[in-house]
Structure 1
Amino acid sequence: MQADEHADEHADSPTPLDSVALAAVIAGTTAAVGVLDTELRYLYVNPALERINGIPAAAHLGRTVAELLPEIDAREDLMLAVLADGRTREIASSGQTPAASGALRRYWHGAYHRLEVAGRVVGVAAVLMEVMASDAEQQQLAQARRHLSLLDAANTRVGTTLDMDTTCAELVDLVVPGLADLATIEVFPRDVAPPVRPAPPGVTRLRRAALTAVPELRERLARFGVAGDYVDYQEDAAVTRCLATNQPVVENLTGDQQLGRLAPSPERVAAYRALGMHSAVIMPVSVRGGPIGVLALVRAGDSPTFTEQDVVVARELAGRAAVDLDHARRFTHEHTIALELQRSLLSEPRRPHPHIEVATRYLPADRSVLVGGDWFDIIPLPDGRHLKAMGDVMGHGVEAAVAMSHYRSLLRLLADEKLPPHRILEQLDRMVERSGLDRAATCLLAVVDRSGGMCQVSSAGHLPPVFIDPGATGTRLGDVPAGPPLGTGYGGYRTTQVRCTPGTVLFMYTDGLVERRGEDIDVSVGRLRELKLPASGDLEELLDEVLDRFGPGAEDDIAVMASRTRRALGGGPGKR
């Protein structure tokens, strides 16, 4: 009886052979097996789990899932629940591991059991199998990644300039093919250019600012139109409805009736059908002041119809573009006003005497920079003398151009006082300070006697003049001390006598001609010593050569003036 009892006792205990077999099964199974302690730290992983995680087994031990695999949603809360109540649970988890799996998210289904020894809870065992996400889930994940990529790219690829058409082109190039097979942006004509003809009553007229399509549709794109076209939309067209409600219009185009609701006119239906269109989204491009235009997205051929997520992304992109387009619109408006004002004020200066030759140029910087306050003038003085002036008001825009007109008017008033150049600058400095004009300016004055010989030069923070002597004498920079800019109230200007014989060309300029990023201004100014009169001796040709050489790369406006006293009093006036 006792022997039988011992036999039964050994039958309930695992033999060494049983343990070896169990270890072999766990190690050899394709299922991933792991054991974690009560703190959810790894105690054991089998080779299958080691391969799934892409981390050696030894590296697992003593570390939690969160520490080891931070990109895994392992549901630690459910594992703790298994430890707490002992109820086995099936848990789904997902994420990415260091194992080579590409960029796709991986999915696992696991069974989790509580482990006990002599009635004491020691951990949890997990048996995992990798499963594949459904095709729909995979497509949704891929679509979400594309959408996020589009939104991220919009931050750097759209709105790089203050030009409306460029901004529109950047947006349509971004959304094709990522969001549509064809895309166009159309804006109200008042925001870009005046319409070529008045729109009929009840018709909404837009200007197509940008248009693009995937390569396979480009040959048929001509029937759709080109950038720059004016398009008239009837009252019931999708674009008109979109602008009226300031809400997107989504059309699934299953027939000519639906196409007709989208088209600006019945004649355009055939072009839409030839393009193979089957879905369209018309999205308003609006700012707080109202609509600027619309963004139209089209899908054709085998492309899927637009989803709600597509519409959400399109709305976000249109909203971001609207801000950039509004900035461009405001810039264009202000730039046009400032440029016209400056041009009206910088009409070619009159020649104070028929024996004085004058040539001038004003060159605005590119459209990304507002027009500035550059100015020049020649003012006749008593006794055959004349005052030459070159100035540059700080800042840009309409305010700078208006301030420039004040400086120019005050200078003409003071020039009649028969003062030397430095006294003119002192008076001008005081008057500007008292007037409350809050924009400082640099200014270079030169008083020249038409008989030649010497000229008086004074500078208020301006760059030195250049003298190009006739013959082989050469070119020299005027050694003129520069006092403080005007409008500071400091004064302290000096007049310098500079040799200026008949035939010597006095060349004056603003800093836009020579300032270049990353280069010392003294080096840039020093290159002006290389200026030479062209073989013809013509001042207009001289300025053409100067701007061809120094103009490219300018980041600020450029004003230049070349003048000289003719040698022979009997000669006629030079070319202007």
Structure 2
Amino acid sequence: MHPDADADSNVILRGILEGTSAGVGILDPRMRYVYVNPALARINGVPAEAHLGRTIAEVLPGIDGREDVLRAVLADGLPREVTSSGHTQAPSGLERRYWHGAYHRLVAEGVVVGIVGIVLEVTASRQQQRDLEQARERLTLLDAAATRIGTTLEMDATCGELADFLVPLLADVASVEVLPVTQGEGGGRPAPGSLRMRRTALSSVPRLRERVQVFGVPGEYVDYQAGSAIPRCLETGKPLMQNLLSDEELVRAAPNTERVAAYRAAGIHSALVVPLAARGQPIGTVTLVRSGDSPGFTAEDVVVAQDLARRAAISLDNARRFTREHDIALGLQSALLAEPSSPHPNLEVASRYLPAGSSALVGGDWFDAVQLPGGRTLLAMGDVMGHGVEAAVDMSHYRAMLRVVAADDEPPHRILERLDALIAATESGRPATCMLVLLDPPRGFAWYSSAGHLPPAVLGPGGSADLIRVPTGPPLGTGFGGYTLARGHCGPGSVLLLYTDGLVERRGEDIDVSLARLAALRLTPEGSLEELLDQVLERLVEEAVEDDVAVLVARVVTS
């Protein structure tokens, strides 16, 4: 080739090497720089001439240069690609930087003269990949939280699920505190300037369980000193992260100074307090604590804790709203069913009402006993369809209607006909089942009529429960009518049991099986009616009540 062509080629090659944005460096067989292009000099933050004659480790001590890979390329001549990381001498605000390099052996006239490396920075793509991985991990975590937090509508249970989920995932100890609903909650008033919170949950890793007991127990009220961590978190509405707390900082962060010694004994050194808020209103806080060899909290921990707190706060707010409505409905229901109306002196009456558990709101179960002329008494047991305050209000309306209609002294099936028409004419009236029993002790007769209700039972002298088969008409409020009358006897000592379906029904069980369980009972009807109710409820009501239970017993008194 002509010498001028070689010169032109060298000019072109140098132009390419000096103009490219890729870093290019040549090392001799002793792994010392013999050439560095301007791009690599900028990447490394070191002038090109300052590289010459020095190794990668000497020029860039903060880089994992993977010299083992480079020596392998020199040894076998196989090109290799490798990613190195760390920090060069160039200024950077990044936590860590990454470079991808391709390396080839250089041979001249059969002799190995060195190695050439072409390097590109890939920090941005690595960061994007890391962000995607973190996002996927966070979504997986939130999916798991959705199945484990908020499984009930009980606020304390939901707080417990949140604390248990956080340990040991993010903390060695986790506690949840909520703001009191009323100012006087917890007894008395908090000290001036302090903030009263109710601790609803406390969870810890096994090695700390005995030690954290000195901090208190779920259900207690804690007054937090002004300026401590939890009040500050609520004031700002932002997470508060405190790592490697000094004794002075721990005194300020703790609810009171007496707790500091216990914190130190447990090895606690870092805390993260995250607010719980929903629909723009604060609910409380969740506190995460680390101790012993556990590391301090990171910015990523804060993000994850906030995500979990937001998810949990929605469940907590729903539970709080449920609890408030449940308490209102239960108060209304209890006030209306405190006692049935007074029957005639020749009849004893006792009743019980058990609200449903956490799976449903208070319903519309009701009962009554209405005096009628001639020593007769009308007993009623009803169940308004639905739950909540609306069902309880409708229950009170139907009970009032019954008393008005019963005053006209009509037989039970006629009373049901009129109630059905009245409720059907009410635009917002809910359907309801109802059992009416007209007892006439002076004459020894009883008349029954049913609007879709379960049959009553008569308790015999031996304690057996005999179900009375009453023809069943449609529920009240349908407007169909068609109720019939059945007659029975009610001699001295006779005991009648009326109830709503919550007493006997079980999920997934045929109603005939449920009624057979009632009929199989062997009770002691000779004692007090309150004792009799205890027997019935103890034997038929499961620990977790799935539906409201209303029971009424009446006994004819011997004249």
Q: TM-score range by the shorter chain?
A: 0.7 to 0.9
Q: Are 1:346 and 2:337 counterparts?
A: yes
Structure 2 residue aligned with 1:207, among 198, 203, 206?
198
Paired position in structure 2 for 1:491: 481
Paired position in structure 1 for 2:289: 298
Q: How far apart in 1 are the matches of 2:526 and 2:468?
A: 24
Paired position in structure 2 for 1:383: 374
Paired position in structure 1 for 2:534: 544
1:184-225 Cα distance to aligned partner (Å, 9 max, x none)? 111112279922221233222111111122222223223333
Paired position in structure 1 for 2:56: none
Q: How far apart in 1 are the matches of 2:280 and 2:434?
A: 41
Q: Are 1:241 and 2:232 counterparts?
A: yes
Q: How far apart in 1 are the matches of 2:417 and 2:497?
A: 23
Residue 512 of structure 2 aligns to a residue whose secondary structure is helix
Contact 1:374–1:510 (Cα < 8 Å) also in 2: yes
Residue segments in structure 1 that go unaligned for 5+ positions in a row: 1-87, 94-108, 114-135, 570-576
One-letter amino acid of the structure 2 residue matched with residue 373 of structure 1: G
Contact 1:338–1:371 (Cα < 8 Å) also in 2: yes
Paired position in structure 1 for 2:452: 461
Paired position in structure 1 for 2:266: 275
| Larger displacement relative to structure 2 (235-244 or 150-159) | 150-159
C-alpha distance 536-493 of structure 1, shift in aligned 2 (>3 A): closer
Structure 2 residue aligned with 1:365, among 339, 353, 356?
356
C-alpha distance 386-513 of structure 1, shift in aligned 2 (>3 A): same
Paired position in structure 1 for 2:550: 559
Q: Are 1:333 and 2:324 counterparts?
A: yes
Residue 190 of structure 2 aligns to a residue whose secondary structure is coil
Residue 189 of structure 1 aligns to a residue whose secondary structure is coil
C-alpha distance 485-89 of structure 1, shift in aligned 2 (>3 A): same
C-alpha distance 181-144 of structure 1, shift in aligned 2 (>3 A): farther
Residue segments in structure 2 that go unaligned for 5+ positions in a row: 1-78, 85-99, 105-126
Q: Are 1:519 and 2:501 counterparts?
A: no
C-alpha distance 528-211 of structure 1, shift in aligned 2 (>3 A): closer
Contact 2:518–2:540 (Cα < 8 Å) also in 1: no
Structure 1 residue aligned with 2:148, among 134, 157, 171?
157
Q: Are 1:395 and 2:410 counterparts?
A: no
Q: How far apart in 2 are the matches of 1:500 and 1:462?
A: 21
One-letter amino acid of the structure 2 residue matched with residue 262 of structure 1: A
Residue 439 of structure 1 aligns to a residue whose secondary structure is coil
Q: How far apart in 2 are the matches of 1:142 and 1:262?
A: 34
- Could you tell me how far 1:274 is from its partner in structure 2? 2.6
- Could you tell me how far 1:110 is from its partner in structure 2? 9.8
C-alpha distance 471-158 of structure 1, shift in aligned 2 (>3 A): closer
C-alpha distance 303-485 of structure 1, shift in aligned 2 (>3 A): same
Structure 2 residue aligned with 1:185, among 176, 181, 192?
176
- Could you tell me how far 1:434 is from its partner in structure 2? 2.2
1:465-493 Cα distance to aligned partner (Å, 9 max, x none)? 11223369x54322211111111111111
Paired position in structure 1 for 2:427: 436
Residue 359 of structure 1 aligns to a residue whose secondary structure is strand
Contact 1:150–1:175 (Cα < 8 Å) also in 2: no
Q: How far apart in 2 are the matches of 1:314 and 1:537?
A: 59
Structure 1 residue aligned with 2:256, among 258, 265, 268?
265
Q: Are 1:410 and 2:384 counterparts?
A: no
Q: Are 1:169 and 2:160 counterparts?
A: yes
Q: How far apart in 2 are the matches of 1:401 and 1:535?
A: 31
Residue 426 of structure 1 aligns to a residue whose secondary structure is helix
Q: How far apart in 1 are the matches of 2:553 and 2:413?
A: 22
Contact 1:146–1:178 (Cα < 8 Å) also in 2: no
Q: Are 1:424 and 2:424 counterparts?
A: no
TM-score, normalised relative to structure 2: 0.74
Task: Give the 5 Å matches for 1:302-321.
Answer: 302-321=293-312
One-letter amino acid of the structure 2 residue matched with residue 232 of structure 1: D
Residue 365 of structure 2 aligns to a residue whose secondary structure is strand
Q: Are 1:530 and 2:502 counterparts?
A: no
Contact 2:276–2:313 (Cα < 8 Å) also in 1: yes
C-alpha distance 164-554 of structure 1, shift in aligned 2 (>3 A): closer
Q: How far apart in 2 are the matches of 1:419 and 1:203?
A: 65
CA RMSD, Structure 1 to Structure 2 (Å) = 3.1
Structure 2 residue aligned with 1:447, among 423, 438, 453?
438
Q: How far apart in 1 are the matches of 2:446 and 2:228?
A: 71
- Could you tell me how far 1:262 is from its partner in structure 2? 1.6
Q: How far apart in 2 are the matches of 1:554 and 1:226?
A: 27
Contact 2:439–2:446 (Cα < 8 Å) also in 1: yes
Contact 1:172–1:211 (Cα < 8 Å) also in 2: yes
1:142-169 Cα distance to aligned partner (Å, 9 max, x none)? 9989766643431222112111111111
Residue 417 of structure 1 aligns to a residue whose secondary structure is coil
Q: How far apart in 2 are the matches of 1:455 and 1:546?
A: 23
Residue 177 of structure 1 aligns to a residue whose secondary structure is coil
C-alpha distance 532-222 of structure 1, shift in aligned 2 (>3 A): closer
How many residues are matched?
445
1:511-538 Cα distance to aligned partner (Å, 9 max, x none)? 1111111111122113322234417444
Q: How far apart in 2 are the matches of 1:253 and 1:358?
A: 67
Q: How far apart in 1 are the matches of 2:392 and 2:218?
A: 34
Contact 2:461–2:525 (Cα < 8 Å) also in 1: no
C-alpha distance 140-225 of structure 1, shift in aligned 2 (>3 A): farther
Contact 2:160–2:201 (Cα < 8 Å) also in 1: yes
1:325-352 Cα distance to aligned partner (Å, 9 max, x none)? 1111111111111111111111222442
Residue 447 of structure 1 aligns to a residue whose secondary structure is strand
One-letter amino acid of the structure 1 residue matched with residue 403 of structure 2: R
- Could you tell me how far 1:556 is from its partner in structure 2? 0.5
One-letter amino acid of the structure 2 residue matched with residue 217 of structure 1: L
C-alpha distance 192-164 of structure 1, shift in aligned 2 (>3 A): farther
One-letter amino acid of the structure 1 residue matched with residue 325 of structure 2: E
1:118-143 Cα distance to aligned partner (Å, 9 max, x none)? xxxxxxxxxxxxxxxxxx9xx99999
Q: How far apart in 1 are the matches of 2:491 and 2:373?
A: 20
Q: How far apart in 2 are the matches of 1:270 and 1:476?
A: 67
Q: How far apart in 1 are the matches of 2:413 and 2:260?
A: 74
C-alpha distance 146-382 of structure 1, shift in aligned 2 (>3 A): same
Q: How far apart in 2 are the matches of 1:190 and 1:381?
A: 46
What percentage of aligned pairs have identical amino acids? 58
C-alpha distance 362-192 of structure 1, shift in aligned 2 (>3 A): farther
Q: How far apart in 2 are the matches of 1:420 and 1:514?
A: 28
Residue 185 of structure 2 aligns to a residue whose secondary structure is coil
